[in-house]
Structure 1
Amino acid sequence: MAIWKRLVYRVGMTMIDTTKWERKEYELTCISPIHIGNGEVYKSYEYYYDRSNQMVYFLDPVKWAAFLAEKGLLDAYAEDVEKSRVCLNLNRWLDTQIGHVQTLPAIKKIALSSSPVYLFSNNKKSVNDIVRQQRDVYGYPVIPGSSLKGVVHSAIRWHLMRRSPEKYQDLWPEIQSAVEQRNPSEVRSEVRKLTARLENHTVNVLHLTGKKGKDALNSVMKGIRISDAYLVVKKRDTILLQKLDASFKKKKGYGRAMVEPEGHTLSVFRECIPSRSRYRFTIMLEREIIQKIGLSSLSELWQWVREYTQAGIHMQEKVFGQDFSPEFKEAETADLLLGGGTGFLSKTVFYALAPTQEEGQKTLATYLDKVFFRRGRPDHYHQRDDQGLTPRTVKLARFGHERWLMGLASVKEVK
């Protein structure tokens, strides 16, 4: 083959054949705070909260143990934690043991990172449980490639369903029938089977194997490789945000739907990547594989992702736009939604199957009431209270005087 038709370049130690692969580097900018949990939840005895300055310090475990040993407090700390795991407050405990004047300077020296925290009540003396942010081995906040690939996966399925709805219309009556089952476990099982069929209709189209449990071998997603995203400017510090939701539901008594203009807080705090943080990552496409679904390039892939993201945002804007106009205006620049607090976006795939949004909302409300059912009643009464949208809640992030939709990010190619 002529050399000008078969360009090969070196990336690290890997040879990339550009006739088979497309590779590009991208920069992701956090429009609003983003939280991607690492599975850890810190109790009040595992972090130090400086209430006067509204700062939380996360401690280096080795230095923390050495500090306690130096002060002769290692056994006392272990015993007090064991006796009162839930209610032991580290800053009060330390202030009692050695005094606040000595404590704070020492804590700053042994902290791995710190986070300013915004409390909605000035009377609140603690920040409750803290859900930690995913970090790399050096302690810097990171956005895993798996999180990015999850969004891409959902966007591809949504696009394929919207492009050729006739291919999937047989699934919708079966989903409606499945959610009408009385037993919650049967509902989950049937919907899981239908989801697997949807996966086979959309992305599992390579037909490389017929073995049970080997669906990943047939997925076009194997032709999309996304690296972890790392900070452009290295900084370990994050921000702590109290979970903030705003709901739109029927008002008790006369059924009229009302929006909570300020939202309502929950006791959970999330460690978040601050807005305006910038990350770099790379994507590689294997051309022969991704062409099986009519995808031709990375630029087209990002068009699909943005359309999917904006479709979900616009569905919420129809309900919440009047009360949260600035937030939705800023969301117009988003190419994707990431992490905790962005769960509604995954439901847009569900809505994409329905003939109308109203029908999708009704069926989804039934499904959620069936699978989240305890003590003889639904957890959230979606069928009774939801109007216009299910789930009926928009997830917000608020820090100081700023407020956003949670998890917004923009992406641009690095030239």
Structure 2
Amino acid sequence: MKTTFLRLATWARKLVDRRSTLGSARLLLVTMVLLGAMLAGSGYLAREATEQQRQAEKWQERTFAVIDNLSSVRVAVLSIRRGERGFLLTGDPAFLDPYTAGIETLDREVPEMRELLAESRQQAERVDQLTVIAATFVSQAQRTVALQRAGRHEEAVAASQLTRGRQLTNRVMAMLDQIEAVERQLMEQRENGAATAARRSDDFQGMLMVSGLALLAIGAYSSQALRLAIQREQAIRAELDRIATTDELTGLANRREMFTSLDRMIATARRSGRPLSVAILDLDRFKQVNDTHGHPAGDEVLRRVAEMARLLLRQQDLVGRLGGEEFLIAFPDCPAHEAVAACERLRQGIAALPVLLPSGVGLSVTVSTGVAQFDPSDDRKTVISRADEALYRAKKGGRDQVRLAA
């Protein structure tokens, strides 16, 4: 069992690469096919063994019928011989009763024997030979009995030819023994064949159990490998989707994803009549941060602003980075005055946010924001343009403030 399992395991390792979804699926498919083939082979062998056993039982019944028939023929031959001899020696007609019964039995049993043995050509030929010998035997007995009945005793004695009578009897008995021996041999062969088929089926069942367990283990392994491979591919696909839609620095939606999502929100707002507001947020004097403290410091500021936006805004609000230090926020189901209030809270949160640089220097930053409410006559470009105009007025008005578009 251990050797079989190790061989299957080696085969499995060669067939599948743990990192390959195709390889795992191929191994799982091959395993199922092998299990199906083994189950089909087991079913075939079981049916063959059952059929062999059924044929053996049928042949056994036939053999017993033949043996019973042969016994009847033997008794009939001995009855004829005994009746003939007794009547010849004593003249007593009572001896003719077994004689007559024997002849009737032969007339009935020999044709039945021929029918029972018709499937075997050799046995049928033996029955033909037996029929000839038996006919000669009966003819001689009938002639002896007829002469004795006619009172011609000396002729009857001469006709009986006792020595020849014994020879015919022995020949009949020998032929009957031969037929019975052949039948018993054929029955034994059938029984041996059935036993062999049963052993073969049992052996295959044992092998099926061992191999089946090994294949089930390999199937479980390949199923697990396939599941993990699919999970890896899904994770890779999700990561690729994230990379394609996410700003690498801040983790927010990138420009393309932001515009795609905003287009969907605009379509929903136009269809439902629900309010939609858009804001553009820009860090004040961000160039000075980069120039004074370096771009890593500027990147840290952008990350902290993104974190604050995620913390303070609603889950359904969409925040994305347009580029540089500029962010875009979409507020679905939100009128302008609520969007302005949300942006004001965000402005205050960012102003109070300390940004600690790796050098130990602490920074504080402010933002300016322009807000515009979507109008049915707007599209993405026009609503962003109106929010951008409001942002421009916030910058011109002294920065660190929120302005609503006209």
- TM above 0.5, yes or no, is no
TM-score, normalised with respect to structure 2: 0.16
With structure 1 as the length reference, what TM-score do the two structures score? 0.16
If you compute each CA radius of gyration, which structure gives the higher value, 1 or 2? 2
Structure whose residues are more often strand by fraction: 1
Structure (1/2) with the larger helix percentage: 2
